[in-house]
Each structure stands twice: as C-alpha cells, then as structure tokens.
C-alpha cells in the first residue's frame, strides 16, 4: 500500500510541527500528546500511554494468530540551540530536534495511516514511540513497564537517519551495529584548606591529574575486534571557583565504551581500580556511580533478512559499509527476548551531521522509511 500525495503532505506537516515544539529526554509530554492525537485518526485497536515515562504504543491487530512485529521511533529532542531560518525551526530556546527523532516518529505515523486502512492479514503490529533515547533510560523504562510483556514482539525493527550516506541508501549488517557505553562519575573527597597553607588540607588535585590520562589509556584492541574498549574523559571539576581555598572535592566524568556487553564489566572494573588506587595514594575518599547506560545493539540474522528482502523488493540500495558504529543506541534492549534489527537510512552525503545546530531531518526520507517497514509487514504478516 502506497502513501498518497496528501498523506505525504500531512506527514511532512506533522513532522515539522514536532520539530517546532521539541522536548528533551523525559519531558516529552506534549510530543506524546501530539502523537496520540495523530494515532487516534487511524483507529488502532489499542493505544498505551505513559510507557517508560511518556512512551506511546499503538497496536494494530488482525485478530488472527501470527507473529508480533514491533517498530520503534524516538520522541525526544536535544538541549541544543537550533541555528536555522526555516519556517518550522524550533520555538523553544535551547532545545531542538537535531537528531531526527521527529522524522523517525513521522515514519511510524506513516505506517499508522496505512495500517489504519488495512490491518495485517495475521498477527499484529506494535508501533512504539519511545521516550528518552538520548539518555539511555527510555528503552529500559518501556521494557520494564508491566504492560510491555503483553506487547513483547517476535521481531523488533528500528531505523536511524545517517548523514554522510547518500540520500535513501541504507547501511545494514548482522551482528553488532552500536557499541555498549555508560557514563562513569568518580567523586574524590578530601579536606579544604586556605590557599596559603594547602599542606593543612587534602587536595584531590594530584589524583585528578593522574586519573585523567590514566583513564584515557584504558581499553585497547582494534574496533573491528570483539575485545575493543575505550574511555573518553568528558568532564572534570575541582573545588570552588575562588582563589582563597585549596580544593577538598573533585569529580571526573568519563564515558566507557565497548563493542560487547561482556567486555564492559572488565572495563568498569579496571576504571574503578584506577580510581580507588589513586584515592588511597593521596588520602582521599572515593565513590563512583554510572549514568546513561546503553547495552550493545546486535542485529539478529533473521530480522536482517526480512529488512534486506523488503529493500530488494522496493528497489532500495543497501550495503554493510561503516558498520558497526562507536556510537550507542538503547534499541539494543528490544533485542532481549526478540529478534531485532536496526537499519541506517542515508540523509545525504553533505547533510549536516547529527547533533549539529543546523541539522534538519530530510522529509524525503519519510515515505522511504515507511515503504521499507510496510514491506516487512506485508511479507511477514500478509
């Protein structure tokens, strides 16, 4: 089933409305409301709201036995000031859809419109509009929701637009496609002193000076190998912004990254050991915690096969180049208990990169993404 010209015009308008009113992770209440208003026009069998925060799920059920297919899009924007003179530019200072989640949502909205006209012949389709992808807690919240068990799919699919790749061309491969990562916050506590008598206190400065380069040297291995690991120091702060007080407190933040979840445990242990040893050497207290935890995203062969068949039938070019990526994606959690796969849809070789302040999702991708996913629905569910 193809989208009409009016459908495409409506979907572009919907995408641009979402773009004008961005909401960052865990604040997507109005975005979710707009999605629900659109979905109601397509008369799904059920709409679930408040999943994992502000998540929305729409179910299109044939009423006949068959597999469940889940397709996921993201609701959240970013805390970035948009630099654009487009009529649909962000109206919210300091917030914008600089990752294209508004476009991903519009692709699932296109599917909703088509599924509302013709339900699958068997099984059911779940359209999942997930919150808080950027912080890594959205998929975790959705899959932990007690209602998710009744929606758990046999197959889960998702996509992300990819600047630097020809418009409409797809990158897709089996196995790892996105790394596991997590943010580690190390807190070092000592004792303040007058800056003229620093010897009367316990400063974290020597430990911080040791830790930052030592953390960055952890890991190793080639990115093409399963033992790959890396640490990026992203932030450090120490004491107060005054000249009269020697510091007694410091924080060091770092992002730990691995190809596989199994490797992450060892990397965390190495980083914790470094921090504890530095603290002991310099007479400091030391605690650490973890934030924005992303598991590795692995594409299941059977799910990839369905996507490849759909693209071949639709005449959409695809290859395996540039995969996997170092970047993380919380879609990996949908692959636990389901065969999942994510594809990467080219948004143009010269298109501004994701998270750039001049990025804008290419509207031409809406019917392309919807065509791939609806072909999967037709092939698997009839």
Structure confidence by residue, pLDDT tens digits, 239-287: 999 999 999 999 999 999 999 999 999 999 999 999 999 999 999 999 9
DSSP 169-231: -EE--SEEEE-EEEEEEEEEE-B-EETT-GGGSB-SHHHHHHHHHHHHT--BS-TTSTT-EEE
User: Is the pLDDT assigned to residue 1 strictly greater than 80?
Assistant: no
Instruction: For residue 190, give both structure tokens.
Output: 């000592």
- Residue 246 · residue 191 · CB < 8 Å: no
Q: Quick one: average pLDDT of 176-186? A: 97
Q: Is 56 helix (H, G, I), strand (E, B) or coil?
A: strand
Domains 5-178+296-381 and 180-294 share a fold: no
Q: Quick one: average pLDDT of 319-330? A: 95
pLDDT for 2: 85
pLDDT for 354: 97
| Higher per-residue confidence, 219 vs 117 | 117
Give the β-pairing of 55-61 and 124-130. Answer: antiparallel
**Residue 341: pLDDT band with limits 50, 70, 90:** very high
pTM to 2 decimals?
0.93
Pick the CATH number of 5-178+296-381 from 3.40.30.10, 3.30.1240.10, 3.40.630.10, 2.40.30.10: 3.40.630.10
Task: Give me the percent of the chain exceeding a pLDDT of 70.
Answer: 100
Task: Give me the percent of the chain exceeding a pLDDT of 90.
Answer: 97
Name the DSSP class of 326: S
User: Is the pLDDT assigned to residue 48 strictly greater than 70?
Assistant: yes
As its CATH architecture, domain 180-294 has 2-Layer Sandwich (3.30)
Structure confidence by residue, pLDDT tens digits, 350-375: 999 999 999 999 999 999 999 999 99
User: Is the pLDDT assigned to residue 79 strictly greater than 90?
Assistant: yes
Whole-number mean pLDDT of the chain? 97
pLDDT for 224: 86
Structure confidence by residue, pLDDT tens digits, 297-317: 999 999 999 999 999 999 999
Pairwise CA distance, residues 377 & 124, whole Å = 9
Could you tell me the residue ranges of all domains in the chain? Answer: 5-178+296-381, 180-294
């Amino acid at each position: 089933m193809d989208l009409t010209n009016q459908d495409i015009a409506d979907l572009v308008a919907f995408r641009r409305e979402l773009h004008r009113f961005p909401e960052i992770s865990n604040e997507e209440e109005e975005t979710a409301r707009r999605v629900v208003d659109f979905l109601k026009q397509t008369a799904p069998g059920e709409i679930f709201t408040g999943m994992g925060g502000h998540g929305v799920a729409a179910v299109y059920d044939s009423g006949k036995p068959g597999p469940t297919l889940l397709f996921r899009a993201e609701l959240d924007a970013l805390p970035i000031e948009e630099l654009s003179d487009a009529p649909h530019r962000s109206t919210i200072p300091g917030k914008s859809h600089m990752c294209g989640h508004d476009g991903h949502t519009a692709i699932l909205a296109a599917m909703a419109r088509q599924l509302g006209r013709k339900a699958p012949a068997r099984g059911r389709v779940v359209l999942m509009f997930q919150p808080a992808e950027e912080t890594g807690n959205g998929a975790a919240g959705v899959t932990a929701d007690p209602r998710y068990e009744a929606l758990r799919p046999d197959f889960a699919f998702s996509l992300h637009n990819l600047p630097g790749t020809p418009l409409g061309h797809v990158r897709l491969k089996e196995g790892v496609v996105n790394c596991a990562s997590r943010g580690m916050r190390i807190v070092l506590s000592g004792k303040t002193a007058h800056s003229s008598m620093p010897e009367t206190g316990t400063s974290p400065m020597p430990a911080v000076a040791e830790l930052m380069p030592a953390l960055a040297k952890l890991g190793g291995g080639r990115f093409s190998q399963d033992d790959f690991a890396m640490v990026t120091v992203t932030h450090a702060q120490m004491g107060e912004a005054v000249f009269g007080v020697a510091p007694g407190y410091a924080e060091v933040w770092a992002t730990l990254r691995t190809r596989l979840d199994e490797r992450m445990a060892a990397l965390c242990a190495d980083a914790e050991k470094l921090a504890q040893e530095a603290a002991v050497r310099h007479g400091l207290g030391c605690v650490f915690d973890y934030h924005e935890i992303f598991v590795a995203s692995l594409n299941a062969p059977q799910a990839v096969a369905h996507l490849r068949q759909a693209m071949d039938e639709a005449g959409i070019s695809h290859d395996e180049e540039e995969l996997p990526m170092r970047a993380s994606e919380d879609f990996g959690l949908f692959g636990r208990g389901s065969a999942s796969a994510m594809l990467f849809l080219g948004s143009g070789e010269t298109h501004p990169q994701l998270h750039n302040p001049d990025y804008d999702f290419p509207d031409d991708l809406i019917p392309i993404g919807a065509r791939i996913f609806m072909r999967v629905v037709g092939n698997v569910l009839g």
